[in-house]
């Protein structure tokens, strides 16, 4: 379940099996960043010098575009 607003880190978007986090849009980190460069996936927002996150609204729109369920 996604919150109405806020930010998501990459582990919550693509998943992280080592941490036991199931992704909303499971694919590799390389494929995710390649999709960002090509414009297929939303760009991150820089929250700090070493912290990037994605707006929940952007991820929700992406899931709807690709036929996923954004609850």
pLDDT tens over the chain, length 71 residues:
788 899 999 999 999 999 999 988 889 999 999 999 999 999 999 999 999 999 999 999 998 888 765 54
Residue-level pLDDT at 68: 61
Q: Domain limits of the chain? A: 7-65
pLDDT at site 55: 97
| Cα–Cα distances in angstroms (integers) from residue 44 to residues 1, 18, 20, 48, in the given order | 20, 23, 23, 12
What is the model's pLDDT at position 69?
53
Contact of 66 with 14, CB cutoff 8 Å: no
Q: What pLDDT score does 71 carry?
A: 47
Model confidence, pTM:
0.84
């Amino acid at each position: 379940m996604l919150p109405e607003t806020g930010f998501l880190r990459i582990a919550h978007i693509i998943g992280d099996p080592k941490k036991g986090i199931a992704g909303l849009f499971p694919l590799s980190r390389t494929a995710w960043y390649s999709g960002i460069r090509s414009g297929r996936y939303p760009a991150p927002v820089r929250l700090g010098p070493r912290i990037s996150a994605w707006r929940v609204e952007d991820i929700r729109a992406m899931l709807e575009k690709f036929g996923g369920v954004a609850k």
